[in-house]
Amino acid sequence: MRVFLALALAAASAVPANAGYWNYNDWHVSTDQFDTGEDVRVTCYAHTGGDGDPVWALEISNGDAGPPDFFPAPRLVEVAPRHHQTMMHDNQTIEFVFEAGPTVPAQAMAYVNEDGLFQAESSPAHNSVLMMLMAMRRGTTVEALGDSEVIATASLKGFTAAYGKMMDECGFTLTMN
């Protein structure tokens, strides 16, 4: 019984006491709170994908600048299985394509992560972030293309609600038009 209680307490302490998690159709929001000793920092994430597929994610902290000067950039994160390469490669041009909207260019950055796995990330340039967020709000799917081949596809069902919740949890108001 003591072993079970110790394991239960250890598992409970692994998650920050004020963490949150919400589902919005195909999108999810999670928050983590950390006391820095000077203040409490809240980091908020909106994401979809995973389970072997690349993850589409946004992240912001209550310590970050926010709208209208700064909007969190959507990014595509790909982690390859051990001994395999990512589909995106370093400095590759990636295009985020929306079914009835703009194509947003991005640049991939590939590297070996701290676990020794190949990882690549791509997000739009700062001046294209708002255009991509608005296309995600209005669209139903987004594809990432590299060298004219589909790297990843994501449903945008629930994106707007997840984005709003992420921003709200970190103290920002939704300002996309």
Token match 């490669």: residue? 89
Question: Quick check: is 160 in a domain?
Answer: yes
Confirm whether 87 is domain-assigned: yes
Mean per-residue pLDDT, 12-19: 46
Q: Which long-range contacts (CB under 8 A, 24 or more apart) does 69-75 make?
A: 71/129, 71/130, 71/133, 72/129, 72/166, 73/123, 73/124, 73/126, 73/129, 73/132, 74/123, 74/124, 74/129, 74/132, 74/133, 74/136, 75/121, 75/122, 75/123
Q: What is the pLDDT at residue 17?
A: 47
User: CA 147 to CA 149: how far, in whole Å?
Assistant: 5
What pTM was estimated for this model as a whole? 0.83
Q: Is residue 5 part of a domain?
A: no
Q: Domain with 89 in it: what CATH number?
A: 2.60.40.1880
> Which residues, 6+ apart, have CB-to-CB distance to 105 below 8 Å?
93, 94, 95, 96, 124, 125, 128
Higher pLDDT among residues 11 and 127, named by residue: 127
| Tokens 């389970």, residue located | 51
Alpha carbons within 13 A on the beta-carbon side of 74:
31
State how many domains the chain has: 1
Domain that holds residue 23: 17-169
Judge whether 7 lies within some domain.
no
For 17-41, write each residue's pLDDT tens digit.
467 999 999 999 999 998 888 888 9
What pLDDT does residue 174 have? 63
